[in-house]
Structure 1
Amino acid sequence: MALIDLLTKKQIKVLHSYLNDDWKYLILNGAVRAGKTVIDNYLFLLELKRIQNLAKIEKEPHPQYILAGYSSNSIYTNIISSLENQFGIVMKTDRHGHYHLFGVDIVPAYTGSVRGIGAIRGMTSYGAYVNEASLSTREVFKEIMERCSKGSARIICDTNPDIPTHWLKKDYIDNHDPKARIKSFSFTIDDNTFLDPEYVEALKAATPRGMFYDRSILGQWVTGEGIVYQDFNKDTMVVPDDEIPDGLDYYCGVDWGFEHPNPIILLGDDKDGNTYILKDFTKQHKFINYWIKIAQNLQEEFGRNLIFYADSARPDNVTEFQSHGINCINANKNVLPGIEYVAMKMRSGKFKIAQSCADGIMDEIYQYAWDEATGMPLKENETRHNDRLDAIRYAIYSKNKKGGFVPWN
Structure 2
Amino acid sequence: MQRGTDILPPLSDKQLDSIRQATRRINVWHGSVRSGKTIASLLAFLVAVRRAPASGLILICGRSLQTIERNIIEPLQAPALFGDVAAEVRHTRGATTAVILGRTVHLIGASDARAEGRLRGLTAALAYVDEITLLPEAFWVQLLARLSAPGARLLGTTNPDSPRHWAKVGYLDRAGELDLAAWHFKLADNPSLSPAYVAALAAEYTGLWRRRMIDGAWVVAEGAIYDMYDEQQHVVDELPAMRRHWLGIDYGTTNPFSAVLLGLGDDDRLYAVAEWRYDSRAARRQMTDAQYSAAVRGWLDELGIVPEWTFVDPSAASYSAQLWADGHPGVARADNSVLDGIRTVSNALDAGLLYVHRSCEGLLTELPDYSWSEQAAARGEDQPNKINDHSVDALRYALHSTAHEWRHLIAPMP
Cα displacement (A) at 1:10: 2.0
Q: 1:371 aligns with which of 370, 373, 382?
A: 373
The question of whether the paired residues in 1 share the 8 Å contact of 2:10 and 2:192 is answered with no
Q: Which residue of structure 1 aligns with residue 364 of structure 2?
A: 362
Cα displacement (A) at 1:80: 1.2
**SS in structure 2 at match of 1:269:** strand
Render the CA deviation track for 1:38-91: whole Å, top value 9, x for unaligned. 11121221121112xx21xxxx5xx52111111222212211111122223453
Question: How far, CA to CA, are the matches of 1:362 and 1:333 in structure 2?
Answer: 21
Question: How far, CA to CA, are the matches of 1:80 and 1:195 in structure 2?
Answer: 22
Q: Which residue of structure 1 aligns with residue 293 of structure 2?
A: 292
Q: Which residue of structure 2 aligns with residue 24 of structure 1?
A: 25
Cα displacement (A) at 1:141: 1.3
Q: Which residue of structure 1 aligns with residue 185 of structure 2?
A: 187
**Counterparts in 2 of 1:217 and 1:50: CA distance versus 1, 3 Å:** same
**SS in structure 1 at match of 2:123:** coil
Residue 263 (structure 2) pairs with residue 263 (structure 1): no
Q: Which residue of structure 2 aligns with residue 15 of structure 1?
A: 19
**SS in structure 1 at match of 2:107:** strand
Cα displacement (A) at 1:292: 1.2
Q: Which residue of structure 2 aligns with residue 66 of structure 1?
A: 59
The question of whether the paired residues in 2 share the 8 Å contact of 1:263 and 1:281 is answered with yes
The question of whether the paired residues in 2 share the 8 Å contact of 1:108 and 1:119 is answered with no
Q: TM-score under structure 2 normalisation? A: 0.84
Cα displacement (A) at 1:95: 8.1
Q: Which residue of structure 2 aligns with residue 247 of structure 1?
A: 243
Opposite residue 76 of structure 1, the aligned amino acid is E
The question of whether the paired residues in 2 share the 8 Å contact of 1:23 and 1:182 is answered with yes
Q: Which residue of structure 2 aligns with residue 318 of structure 1?
A: 320
Cα displacement (A) at 1:5: 6.8
The question of whether the paired residues in 1 share the 8 Å contact of 2:371 and 2:385 is answered with no
Cα displacement (A) at 1:119: 4.6
**SS in structure 2 at match of 1:143:** helix
The question of whether the paired residues in 2 share the 8 Å contact of 1:161 and 1:221 is answered with yes
The question of whether the paired residues in 1 share the 8 Å contact of 2:65 and 2:94 is answered with no
Q: Which residue of structure 1 aligns with residue 392 of structure 2?
A: 389
Cα displacement (A) at 1:116: 4.1
The question of whether the paired residues in 2 share the 8 Å contact of 1:68 and 1:131 is answered with yes
Question: How far, CA to CA, are the matches of 2:226 and 2:376 in structure 1?
Answer: 17
Q: Which residue of structure 2 aligns with residue 230 of structure 1?
A: 227
Residue 215 (structure 2) pairs with residue 214 (structure 1): no
Tell which deviates more after alignment, 188-197 or 93-102. 93-102
The question of whether the paired residues in 1 share the 8 Å contact of 2:19 and 2:43 is answered with no
Render the CA deviation track for 1:318-361: whole Å, top value 9, x for unaligned. 3333333333222221222111111111111100112222x321
Cα displacement (A) at 1:271: 7.2
Question: How far, CA to CA, are the matches of 2:242 and 2:308 in structure 1?
Answer: 15
**Counterparts in 2 of 1:322 and 1:94: CA distance versus 1, 3 Å:** closer
Tell which deviates more after alignment, 212-221 or 315-324. 315-324
Q: Which residue of structure 2 aligns with residue 110 of structure 1?
A: 109
Question: How far, CA to CA, are the matches of 1:36 and 1:109 in structure 2?
Answer: 21
Cα displacement (A) at 1:173: 0.5
The question of whether the paired residues in 2 share the 8 Å contact of 1:308 and 1:329 is answered with yes
Opposite residue 82 of structure 1, the aligned amino acid is P
**Counterparts in 2 of 1:13 and 1:270: CA distance versus 1, 3 Å:** farther
The question of whether the paired residues in 2 share the 8 Å contact of 1:65 and 1:107 is answered with yes
Render the CA deviation track for 1:155-192: whole Å, top value 9, x for unaligned. 111011111110000111011344x2111111122222
Question: How far, CA to CA, are the matches of 2:404 and 2:67 in structure 1?
Answer: 15
Question: How far, CA to CA, are the matches of 1:117 and 1:99 in structure 2?
Answer: 21
Question: How far, CA to CA, are the matches of 1:293 and 1:73 in structure 2?
Answer: 41
Question: How far, CA to CA, are the matches of 2:181 and 2:157 in structure 1?
Answer: 12
Cα displacement (A) at 1:401: 5.8
**SS in structure 1 at match of 2:171:** helix
Opposite residue 244 of structure 1, the aligned amino acid is P
Q: Which runs of 5+ in 2 are unaligned?
A: 281-286, 406-414
Aligned-residue sequence identity (percent) comes to 26
Q: 2:351 aligns with which of 348, 351, 360?
A: 348
Opposite residue 393 of structure 2, the aligned amino acid is D
Q: Which runs of 5+ in 1 are unaligned?
A: 403-409
Question: How far, CA to CA, are the matches of 1:272 and 1:104 in structure 2?
Answer: 56
**Counterparts in 2 of 1:246 and 1:314: CA distance versus 1, 3 Å:** closer
The question of whether the paired residues in 2 share the 8 Å contact of 1:31 and 1:160 is answered with yes
**SS in structure 2 at match of 1:34:** coil
Cα displacement (A) at 1:298: 6.5
Opposite residue 354 of structure 1, the aligned amino acid is H
Q: Which residue of structure 1 aligns with residue 337 of structure 2?
A: 334
Residue 71 (structure 2) pairs with residue 78 (structure 1): yes
Cα displacement (A) at 1:246: 2.5
Render the CA deviation track for 1:4-32: whole Å, top value 9, x for unaligned. 972122212211212xxx51000111111
The question of whether the paired residues in 1 share the 8 Å contact of 2:240 and 2:266 is answered with no
Q: Which residue of structure 2 aligns with residue 406 of structure 1?
A: none
Corresponding residue pairs, total: 382
The question of whether the paired residues in 2 share the 8 Å contact of 1:68 and 1:129 is answered with yes
Query: Alpha carbon RMSD of aligned pairs, Å?
Result: 2.5
Q: Which residue of structure 2 aligns with residue 43 of structure 1?
A: 44
Tell which deviates more after alignment, 110-119 or 250-259. 110-119
**SS in structure 2 at match of 1:321:** helix
